[in-house]
């Protein structure tokens, strides 16, 4: 069995946002001390939105090294940046105008391009400019959400985007949404130094159990394709999202920290 997946469970969505938010403030400082910057691929959705709001609170905001933080997006809807569905717009609104991040540190996906495939190619080119032409970029943090159907980023069940092994960015058509998306690919996600899933709510409990417990079938459950090659792997849930996990799935020591119970979960 290889390195464990770390499972952290907070009481509720607000505790989750606060505890994960504080954990990531520390991560930011450690990365800046070690490498002079913190490169983050953000997730869309309502769960990470709470985290971004927490980061935007003055008492938290003022403790983060924004001039050394580079924000990217793990995926984006095929809409302009001002559209209600835009992950970029959601993030900027949640962080608030008070966050002093330099505009040059915001690396959004230009999803306003009429052709989603071109938007994906442009984003891949911008990543290669920033990270260099290495096999895959190594983000310090890859923030992931989980849909009730087991999707993550914009890798949805039944699609083949989850199987892409060479490209850094793809533009899958999502039939259930009748729209294109732009998404980082699995090799990029798995190259990250830290992959962190944030999942809250009882509606996600069946998907959490399926992704963590069912036999591996990434086309059916795309989130199962996420398994960092060398980086740390953390699933941070609230109690409701963890409610379907069998007790015996949790092995190892239990430590209490910031109203969060930490388990280590063996991975096959």
Interface contacts to ligand 6PG, rule CB under 6 A: 43-47, 75, 87, 145-147, 151-153
Is 45 or 228 the residue whose CB approaches ligand 6PG more closely? 45
Is 47 or 185 the residue whose CB approaches ligand 6PG more closely? 47
Instruction: Kindly state the smallest distance separating residue 252's Cβ from ligand 6PG, in Å.
Output: 27
Is 43 or 227 the residue whose CB approaches ligand 6PG more closely? 43
Is-contact 11 45, C-beta < 8 A?
Answer: no
Q: Which residue is nearest to ligand 6PG (CB)?
A: 145
Contacts of 180 (CB under 8 A, 6+ apart): 78, 116, 171, 172, 173, 174
Backbone angles phi, psi at 77, to 5 degrees: -80, 160
Tokens representing residue 114 in the block: 């009429």
Q: Quote the distance between the C-alpha of residue 165 and its chain's center.
A: 19
Instruction: Kindly state the smallest distance separating residue 204's Cβ from ligand 6PG, in Å.
Output: 7
Instruction: Kindly state the smallest distance separating residue 105's Cβ from ligand 6PG, in Å.
Output: 20
Contacts of 252 (CB under 8 A, 6+ apart): 4, 263, 264, 265, 266
Tokens representing residue 155 in the block: 């890798």
Name the β-bridge partners of 267: 2
Instruction: Kindly state the smallest distance separating residue 219's Cβ from ligand 6PG, in Å.
Output: 16
The Cα 81–Cα 88 span in angstroms is 6
Is 39 or 183 the residue whose CB approaches ligand 6PG more closely? 183
Instruction: Kindly state the smallest distance separating residue 174's Cβ from ligand 6PG, in Å.
Output: 10
Is 87 or 260 the residue whose CB approaches ligand 6PG more closely? 87
Tokens representing residue 204 in the block: 């996600």
Is 68 or 78 the residue whose CB approaches ligand 6PG more closely? 78
Is 104 buried (19+), middle (13-18) or exposed (0-12) by CB count in 10 A?
exposed
Instruction: Kindly state the smallest distance separating residue 41's Cβ from ligand 6PG, in Å.
Output: 10
- Strand 173-174 to 75-77 pairing: unpaired
Is 38 or 88 the residue whose CB approaches ligand 6PG more closely? 88
Is-contact 154 144, C-beta < 8 A?
Answer: no
Instruction: Kindly state the smallest distance separating residue 177's Cβ from ligand 6PG, in Å.
Output: 10
Q: Tell me how crowded residue 2 is: count the other CB atoms within 10 A of its CB.
A: 8
């Amino acid at each position: 069995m290889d390195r464990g997946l770390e499972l952290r469970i907070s009481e509720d969505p607000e505790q989750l946002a606060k505890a994960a938010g504080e954990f990531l403030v520390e991560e930011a400082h450690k990365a800046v001390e070690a490498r002079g910057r913190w490169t983050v691929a953000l997730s869309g959705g309502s769960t990470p939105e709470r985290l971004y709001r927490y980061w935007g609170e003055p008492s938290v905001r003022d403790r983060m090294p924004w001039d050394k933080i580079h924000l990217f997006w793990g995926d984006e809807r095929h809409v302009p940046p001002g559209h209600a569905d835009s992950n970029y717009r959601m993030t900027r609104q949640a962080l608030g105008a008070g966050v002093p991040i330099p505009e040059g540190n915001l690396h959004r996906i230009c999803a306003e391009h009429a052709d989603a495939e071109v938007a994906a190619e442009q984003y891949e080119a911008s990543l290669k400019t920033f990270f260099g032409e290495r096999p895959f970029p190594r983000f310090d943090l890859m923030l992931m959400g989980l849909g009730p159907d087991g999707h993550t980023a914009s890798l949805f069940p039944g699609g083949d985007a989850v199987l892409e092994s060479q490209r850094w960015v793809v533009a899958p058509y999502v039939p259930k949404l009748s729209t294109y998306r732009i998404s980082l690919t699995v090799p990029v996600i798995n190259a990250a130094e830290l992959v962190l899933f944030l999942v809250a709510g009882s509606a996600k409990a069946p998907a959490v159990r399926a992704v963590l417990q069912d036999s591996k079938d990434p086309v059916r459950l795309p989130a199962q394709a996420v398994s960092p090659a060398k980086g740390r792997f953390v699933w941070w849930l609230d109690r409701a999202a963890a409610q379907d996990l069998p007790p015996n799935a949790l092995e190892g020591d239990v430590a209490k920290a910031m109203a969060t119970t930490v388990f280590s979960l063996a991975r096959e």
